[in-house]
Amino acid sequence: MRLLLALGNPGAKYRDTRHNIGWWLADRLALRWGAEPFRPGGATDGATAWTTGSGRSGVEIHKPLTYMNRSGEALAALLAARPAAPRLDPAADILVLVDDVALPAGRFRVRKRGSPGGHNGLASISASLDSDEYGRLRLGVGQPPDDRIDLAAWVLSRMSRAEEEEAVGAFPRAAEAVEYWLDHGVEAAMNRFNRPG
């Protein structure tokens, strides 16, 4: 069983923000695969996630409800709730769906490792796993147009209509990348879907 971990923040206040683009894609994947509705799941108080078996064999989709900065706690609870064997290999069996300000809206990149790069959700996951060796699908949300704009405020703001159309327009191909990862692994998905530049 493999895990898709879509990072975001729970609650209507955050639903439509750039930081929640991973949740947007998770919802599209669940719809694409005919999944059951997301439901609470997890092992410990404060570390639950909205979870679905996805409707596709061999994968679960999780949306942590711990808030972005504590995403690793939800992942730890999900892993602890699993049977002891077979043990998941994060490098091969986990793909994190995450926002990335270094990419413009409408672009995405598959990565098999890397530092959190200032992203608190990834930092929490890396700390939980004690490793940066896990897959991630980085979804572009663009950079602030002015360097005086606080980055935290930027990712917690809504995209313009044009940006959102660009971002959502990339979801069908991003979904194909996820499916290719499931069938062929992270390196093959990188080679097939990462555009130069």
Strands (E), 88-186: 94-100, 108-111, 135-140
Structure confidence by residue, pLDDT tens digits, 177-191: 999 999 999 999 999
Q: How far apart are CA 189 and CA 72, in angstroms?
A: 24
Q: What is the mean pLDDT of the chain?
A: 89
DSSP character at residue 39: E
Percent of the chain at pLDDT above 90?
64
What residues are annotated to the active site? 19
pLDDT of 41 reads 63
Q: Does the predicted TM-score (pTM) go above 0.85?
A: yes
Nearest to 74 by CA among 99, 50, 98: 50
Answer for the pair 167, 106: CB distance below 8 angstroms, yes or no: yes
Answer for the pair 175, 32: CB distance below 8 angstroms, yes or no: yes
pLDDT of 80 reads 82
Structure confidence by residue, pLDDT tens digits, 164-174: 999 999 999 99
